[in-house]
Structure 1
Amino acid sequence: MVSSLGTGIEEFTAALRAGRSNVRPITVFDTTGFEHNNGCEVIGFEPERWIHNVDVDSLGRASRFSTAAARLAVADSGIDLDVLREARCLLSVGTTDGESHELDSMVSLEIAGGPEAMSPRLARRTSAGRLATSIAHELRLSNVEVGSIATACSAGNYAIGHSFDAIRLGEADFALCGGADAVCRKTFTSFYRLRSIAPDFCRPFDKNRLGILTGEGAGILMLESLESATARGARIYGEVLGYGLSCDAHHPVAPHQGGIARCMELALANAGVKPAEVDLISAHGTGTHANDKTEAAAIRELFGEDTPRVVSMKSMLGHSMGAASALAAIGCSVAITEGFIPPTINHVETDPECAVDCVPNVAVEADLRIVQNNGWAFGGNNSVVLIGRYDGPREVVA
Structure 2
Amino acid sequence: MTNPLPSDELILLRGRGRVSALGMAAAAYAAGQPGFAARPLGATTLAAAAVPSEVETVLAALRKSQPAYRQLDRTVLLAILAARQAAVEAGWHLEQDEVLLDQKLKTNSPKPATLAVSIGSSRGATGRTEHYHHEFLTTGDVAAAASPLTTLGNVASWVAYDAGSVGGAALSHSSTCSSAFQALGNALAWLRAGMAERFLAGGTEAPLTDFTLAQMHALGIYSPFAAPDFPCRPGAGRPSTFVLGEGAAVFALEKVGRAALTAPAQRAPLFVLESVGFGFEAIGSKTGLSPDGRHFQTAMRQALHQAGCAPAAVDAVVLHSPGTPAGDAAERQAVRAVFGAELPDLVSNKWLLGHTLGASAALSLDFACQLLATQTWPAPPFATDLTPAPTRPIRRVLVNAVGFGGNAASALVSVV
TM-score, normalised via structure 1 length: 0.86
Shift of 1:25: 2.1
Selected match of 1:367 from 362, 384, 393 = 393
Which runs of no fewer than 5 residues in structure 1 stay unpaired? 351-355, 391-398
Q: Which residue of 2 aligns with 1:205?
A: 235
**Aligned ranges 1:92-103 → 2 under 5 Å:** 92-103=118-129
| Pairing partner for 1:32 from 42, 45, 49 | 42
Q: Residues 74 and 50 (structure 1 numbering): CA distance in 2 closer, same or farther, change over 3 Å?
A: farther
Q: Equivalents in 2 of 1:5, 1:216: separation in Å? A: 10
Q: Partner residue of 2:3?
A: none
Residue number in structure 2 paired with 1:347: 382
2:216 matched residue in structure 1: 191
Q: Does structure 1 residue 225 correspond to structure 2 residue 259?
A: no
What are the within-5 Å matches in structure 2 for residues 112-131 of structure 1? Answer: 113=138, 118-120=142-144, 124-131=148-155
Partner of 1:395: none
Q: Which residue of the partner structure matches residue 302 of structure 1? A: 338
Deviations 1:336-385, CA, capped at 9 Å, x for gaps = 11222344x3522x3xxxxx4x134xx55862110000000001111000
Structure-2 separation of matches of 1:229 and 1:331: 28
Q: Report the Cα distance in structure 1 between the residues aligned to 2:50 and 2:314, rounded to whole angstroms.
A: 32
CA distance in 2, matches of 1:252, 1:202: 23
Aligned equivalents of 1:382, 1:208: Cα separation in 2: 23
Question: Secondary structure in 1 aligned to 2:119?
Answer: strand
CA RMSD of aligned residues (A): 2.5
Between 229-238 and 191-200, the greater mean CA deviation after superposition = 229-238
Residue type of the alignment partner of 1:338: T
TM-score by length of 2: 0.82
Counterparts of 1:118 and 1:199, CA distance in 2: 38
Which range is displaced more, 51-60 or 301-310? 51-60
* Percent identity over paired residues: 25
Task: Tell me by how many angstroms 1:229 deviates.
Answer: 11
The whole-number CA distance in structure 2 between the counterparts of 1:139 and 1:164 is: 19
Please say if residues 216 and 320 of structure 1, whose CA atoms lie closer than 8 Å, have aligned partners that are also in contact: yes
In structure 2, the residue matched to 1:132 is 156
Distance 2:267 2:183 in 1: 22
Query: Could you list the runs of 5+ residues in structure 2 that have no partner in the other structure?
Result: 1-17, 102-111, 226-230
Contact 1:50/1:72 (CA < 8 Å) preserved in 2? no
Q: Is 1:381 the equivalent of 2:416?
A: no
Per-residue deviation at 1:125?
A: 3.1
* Secondary structure, counterpart of 1:196 in structure 2: coil
1:43 aligns with 2:43: no
Contact residue 205 and residue 285 of structure 1 kept, 8 A = yes
- Give the Å deviation of 1:321: 0.5
Aligned runs of 1:146-225 on 2, under 5 Å? Answer: 146-183=170-207, 184-200=209-225, 201-225=231-255
Distance across 2 between alignment mates of 1:271 and 1:235: 23
Amino acid at match of 1:174: R
Question: How many correspondences in the alignment?
Answer: 370
Alignment partner for residue 6 of structure 1, among 19, 23, 41? Answer: 23
